[in-house]
Amino acid sequence: MNNRTKGVKTLVHDVLAIFPKPYGEDIMLDVCMAIEHNPEWRRRYDELCDNLRDAVVNTAIGQYVKDETGLSSLGEVRTKKSHIIASYTKLGHSK
């Protein structure tokens, strides 16, 4: 990713810090749900979306979660749990 998404990287780093390791396969959903339910993180997310567009921010969240956790993509699933994403990638260790 690039310098434009540095704020997204910082947000992902801050959110991942609340989750214990090892991360579960739904860590991307967990990160998005944490952003939704924490007013400060949601404010930062909304500000990033205003500057970069939702699609750019959500794609960057996915990439940074993968980078920071060191996990691999297992497959995409749809979700109705989140208001900021309609689908996410389950993550795990490569086999």
| Number of separate domains in the chain | 1
H/E element holding 77? strand 72-78
Structure tokens, 22: 């090892």
Question: pLDDT tens for residues 2-58?
Answer: 689 999 999 999 999 999 999 999 999 999 999 999 999 999 999 999 999 999 999
Q: Which residues contact 70 (CB under 8 A, 6 or more apart)?
A: none
Structure tokens, 57: 């921010």
82 by DSSP, 3-state: which? coil
Q: Tell me the residue range of the domain where 64 lies.
A: 3-92
- Please determine, for residue 1, whether its predicted confidence score (pLDDT) is greater than 70: no
pLDDT at 3: 87
